[in-house]
């Protein structure tokens, strides 16, 4: 069971968790930063792995791919061996085309844009 989805207690002052749910905070992150990363990855993991049960070789459309949860979902999908297609959330990413992009297409487009800016500098 996951705390907060099938088990109450997420607003308690203290909670008991299975040790497998815990990991060390990277030293370079503040507690606030570590908490933010954890929430994004937890949300993405719950959706991509536990709910969707994404398998290697499958394709997944990730909307809002520029946000923290979208970036986490992209990383998890790649780790899982799936092909993520990333689309910015409505009203965001005005410089991106309207059609969804494969992650590698997005990376290539960003690299070309970066190279062009570097040449003009």
Residue 1 covered by a domain: no
DSSP state of 110: H
Residue 22 covered by a domain: no
Q: What is the chain's mean pLDDT, rounded?
A: 75
What gap in Å lies between CA 13 and CA 79, rounded to an integer? 34
Backbone torsions φ then ψ of 7, nearest 5 degrees: -140, 125
Which domain covers residue 113, as residue numbers? 27-120
**What confidence tens digit (pLDDT) does each residue in 25-82 have?**
878 888 888 777 777 888 888 889 888 999 999 999 888 887 888 888 998 999 999 9
What gap in Å lies between CA 76 and CA 32, rounded to an integer? 22
State the CATH number of the domain containing residue 114. 3.40.50.720
Residue 20 covered by a domain: no
Residue 9 covered by a domain: no
Question: What pLDDT does residue 80 have?
Answer: 92
DSSP state of 62: E
Residue 6 covered by a domain: no
Residue 31 covered by a domain: yes
Residue 60 covered by a domain: yes
Q: CB-based contacts of 80: which residues, under 8 Å, 6+ apart?
A: 48, 49, 54, 55, 56
- This prediction's pTM: 0.56
Look at the chain and report how many structural domains it folds into: 1
pLDDT at 11 over 50: yes
């Amino acid at each position: 069971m996951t705390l907060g989805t099938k088990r109450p207690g997420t607003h308690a002052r203290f909670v008991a968790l299975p040790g497998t749910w815990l990991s060390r905070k990277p030293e370079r992150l503040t507690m606030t930063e570590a908490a933010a990363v954890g929430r994004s990855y937890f949300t993405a993991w719950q959706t991509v792995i536990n709910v969707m049960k994404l398998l290697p070789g499958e394709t997944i459309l990730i909307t809002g791919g520029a946000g923290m949860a979208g970036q986490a979902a992209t990383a998890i999908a790649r780790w899982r061996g799936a092909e993520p297609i990333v689309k910015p959330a409505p009203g965001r990413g005005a410089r991106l085309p309207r059609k969804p992009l494969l992650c590698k297409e997005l990376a290539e487009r960003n690299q070309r844009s970066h190279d062009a800016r570097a040449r003009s500098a």
